[in-house]
Amino acid sequence: MKKKILALFLAVGCLAGMFAGCGKTEVKEEKVVVSVNGEDITEGEFLYYLLIAKNTIISAGDGEDNEEYWKTTEIEGKNAGDVARETALKNAVELTVTAQKAIEMGADNSDHVRRAQRQNFIKQSFGGSEKDYLSRIAELGMTDEDVTKVIMKDYLASQLSGMVDIDEPSDEEIREYYDKNYYRAKHILISFSNYETDGSDGHEEALKKAEEVKAMIDGGANFESLIPEYNEDTAINDSETGYIFTKDVMVKPFEEATKALKVGEISDIVETDYGYHIIKRLDAGAAYNEFLTSKSMLDQNGEMTGKDEIINFTKQEKLTVMIDEWKDKADIKTNDSVLKEIPLTASSEEK
């Protein structure tokens, strides 16, 4: 049920997977898109931020990466293409300012570290194949230097949180953050995958089952008693607590449906990429102490607890305030004419 969380800084991620299927983007000249304290971000480097911004927008909605989508779709009253460019510009400026501050505070910006970060990226994203890496970024209109700049800035930014002095939140601040930002829910999931056949994607059959379950609930059946028999989310089936989550942890339709409910209310049938859900919102406050000691949903393979999760979030918020202050003081010069001309989709001859 969870969706991937982006880090505070730009999530460089896996280039090979993130941009699979993207056509070639033509950048004929390395014009400067924006200058940050005298450091130029050219079109090639900017494409990286733009591709990540586009991927984030597409992942959050139902659109496809094509010219019509970016030209005609509106996001909160703004053109989707403009939102993508603005998001990319914001990320590019913030990451550059943060990396500059990290260097100023003593982060290692040596060629040795640069080479190591580059090789680690190629290993993680392309199985260590230099050839595949160079071929793919060339297809995307970027050079090795463009990509390495972003990789290194991301590394430098990641070092900053351990270099700045940020106070630990008090117990009262932790509780206040939890009450303001966390939700709790249980659900009955009817999963598409359990109904797939050679002739069906499982949607129709799953919906029929979900409608049967919802009819039982509407007829007076106890929600909790139906979970063991009908819920197909095995990861949560035996949990008395259910899911406790904050913004952008769960897939968007699940999160929005939960927020729309009052405590104790049960939703209509909600569709996500996983299947059809019937959601019951629960009192998050009643499970506060359990949450603090439970394993974080964002770090299932590690040792981070719910309390650690909130401490990290509050520290990130404080660091974000610092970054905003650094950005406000930075000398930022944007070349709007160049920004507007950067293509959002592959050139027609490449499609």
Do 139 and 29 lie in a common domain? yes
Number of domains in the chain: 2
Helix axis angle for 144-160 and 43-60, nearest 10°, is 70
Confidence of residue 345 (pLDDT cuts 50, 70, 90): confident
Mean pLDDT, residues 193-214 taken together? 93
User: What burial class does residue 53 get, using C-beta atoms within 10 Å of its C-beta: 0-12 exposed, 13-18 middle, 19+ buried?
Assistant: buried
Express as a percent the part of the chain with pLDDT over 70: 89
Confidence of residue 197 (pLDDT cuts 50, 70, 90): confident
Q: Mind listing the pLDDT tens digit for each residue in 234-255?
A: 777 667 899 999 998 999 999 9
Confidence of residue 333 (pLDDT cuts 50, 70, 90): very high
Q: Range with the lowest mean pLDDT among 12-16, 86-90, 225-229?
A: 12-16
Confidence of residue 7 (pLDDT cuts 50, 70, 90): very low
Q: For residue 79, give the 3-state DSSP assignment.
A: strand
Domain that holds residue 239: 184-283
Q: Give the residue with greater pLDDT, 252 vs 10.
A: 252
Short-list 153, 173, 183, CA closest to 315? 173
Do 188 and 162 lie in a common domain? no
- Domain assignment of residue 308, yes or no: no
Mean pLDDT, residues 340-346 taken together? 86
Residue 137, pLDDT score: 92
Q: What is the CATH number of the domain that holds 224?
A: 3.10.50.40
Mean pLDDT, residues 274-280 taken together? 96
Tokens of 50: 């733009």
Do 206 and 232 lie in a common domain? yes
Q: Give yes or no for a contact between 34 and 44, defined as CB atoms under 8 angstroms apart.
A: no
Confidence of residue 350 (pLDDT cuts 50, 70, 90): very low
Mean pLDDT, residues 304-321 taken together? 92
- Listed as own residue / partner, the contacts of 252-255 with beta carbons closer than 8 Å and 24 or more positions apart are 252/3, 252/60, 254/1, 254/185, 254/187, 254/279, 255/183
- Domain assignment of residue 142, yes or no: yes
User: What burial class does residue 186 get, using C-beta atoms within 10 Å of its C-beta: 0-12 exposed, 13-18 middle, 19+ buried?
Assistant: buried
Residue 13, pLDDT score: 52
CA distance 152 to 158: 10
Q: Mind listing the pLDDT tens digit for each residue in 136-188?
A: 999 988 999 999 999 999 999 989 878 888 889 999 999 999 999 999 999 99
Do 253 and 189 lie in a common domain? yes
Do 119 and 258 lie in a common domain? no
Do 161 and 188 lie in a common domain? no
Short-list 309, 311, 313, 283, CA closest to 295? 309
Do 132 and 192 lie in a common domain? no
Confidence of residue 3 (pLDDT cuts 50, 70, 90): very low
- Domain assignment of residue 233, yes or no: yes
Do 106 and 23 lie in a common domain? yes
- Domain assignment of residue 263, yes or no: yes
Q: Give yes or no for a contact between 50 and 84, defined as CB atoms under 8 angstroms apart.
A: yes
Short-list 324, 345, 342, CA closest to 46? 342
Q: What is the CATH number of the domain that holds 136?
A: 1.10.4030
- Domain assignment of residue 327, yes or no: yes
CA dihedral 270, 81, 73, 54 (to 10 degrees): -20
Mean pLDDT, residues 70-86 taken together? 92
Q: Give yes or no for a contact between 190 and 239, defined as CB atoms under 8 angstroms apart.
A: no
Do 100 and 213 lie in a common domain? no
pTM over 0.75: no
Do 154 and 196 lie in a common domain? no
Which residue, of 261, 283, 305, is where some domain finishes? 283
CA distance 270 to 267: 8
- Domain assignment of residue 275, yes or no: yes
Residue 231, pLDDT score: 95
Which residue, of 283, 301, 325, is where some domain finishes? 283
Phi-psi region of 70 (alpha: psi -120 to 50; beta: other; left: phi over 0): alpha
Q: Range with the lowest mean pLDDT among 16-30, 263-277, 311-325?
A: 16-30
pLDDT at position 11 over 70? no
Residue 349, pLDDT score: 39
Q: Give the residue with greater pLDDT, 161 vs 70.
A: 70
Confidence of residue 10 (pLDDT cuts 50, 70, 90): very low
Q: Mind listing the pLDDT tens digit for each residue in 91-130?
A: 999 999 999 999 999 999 999 999 999 999 999 999 999 9
- Domain assignment of residue 175, yes or no: no
- Domain assignment of residue 236, yes or no: yes
Short-list 118, 143, 136, CA closest to 30? 143
Residue 299, pLDDT score: 77
Do 49 and 160 lie in a common domain? yes
CA distance 310 to 313: 5
Tokens of 184: 């709790």
Do 25 and 153 lie in a common domain? yes
Which residue, of 283, 306, 323, is where some domain finishes? 283
Residue 174, pLDDT score: 97
